[in-house]
Amino acid sequence: MNPLLDLAIAAHGGLDRWEAFNEVTALLTIDGELGILKQNPGTLGPFTVTASTSEACATLAPFGCSGRRATFVPDRVTIEGLQQEVIEALEDPRAAFAGHDFETAWDDLHVAYFHGYLLWTHLVTPFLYAFPNFATEELPPWREGNEEWRRLKIVFPEHMASHSREQVSYFDAGGLLRRHDYQVDILGGRSCVDYMSDYREYHGIQVPRRRRMFEIAPGARPTSQCLLLSIDITEMSFR
């Protein structure tokens, strides 16, 4: 690993501590304009996401109406009932977004895939960047307000479900993740930025409980105050 990634992983609790866990569970709320834009508002209210700490796998419950849950792995998403019976399933879900642009409507399976990979990635970052086949490179620092943040370019392996293969994370002087830039391929390649804040320690792991997503322009500044997506964590546990 490079020195910046070493600093970031240590600041968030350390790799040894992270690898002591198999699973992370978070109670959270998602809101923002993206659901309205995708003509699928209200699909996700307060819910629990349970994610593997070592592989891309997450379950969201309840999903939509009571008694349903969504399960995500990169090559398949399902919506299941009370007895875990499959109500709907989508194989090769990435292909289902072909031809989509920023305003293309989503159905429940589209929503399950997007939030599945989004939340899994959110919960395992920055430890994710130490997984096999990730490439990292430190970029020149960035001035954000009165602070200077160090930037890490990340190239995801081809098999990994994420916004895009190349992304950039920003870390403050202490190594905590504060910002994340990327293109959302399944939103027509729009460039977006996430800001992270309200850190709290859970079982020795530092977790940002507040995440805010905006669209950005080529100058790497948010284009408006339109909040595309918000994620607020209220409880979290590891096991």
Q: pTM for the whole thing?
A: 0.94
How many structural domains comprise the chain? Answer: 1
Task: Work out the average pLDDT over 146-164.
Answer: 96
Question: Tens of pLDDT along 180-211?
Answer: 999 999 999 999 999 999 999 999 999 999 99
Answer for the pair 84, 71: CB distance below 8 angstroms, yes or no: no
DSSP character string of 48-95: EEEEESSSS-EEEES-SSTT-EEEEETTEEEEE-TTS-EEEEEESGGG
Q: How many residues does the chain have?
A: 239
Alpha carbons within 13 A on the beta-carbon side of 73:
7
Task: Work out the average pLDDT over 72-98.
Answer: 95
Per the model's pLDDT, the better-predicted residue between 178 and 35 turns out to be 178
Give the pLDDT band of residue 129 (cuts 50, 70, 90).
very high
CATH of the domain at 14: 2.50.20
For residue 66, is pLDDT > 80? Answer: no
The pLDDT assigned to 37 comes to 81
The pLDDT assigned to 36 comes to 79
Summary mean pLDDT of the chain: 93
Q: What is the extent of the structural domain holding 69?
A: 3-238
Give the pLDDT band of residue 42 (cuts 50, 70, 90).
low
- Which residue type, as a one-letter code, is found at position 100? H
For residue 86, is pLDDT > 90? Answer: yes
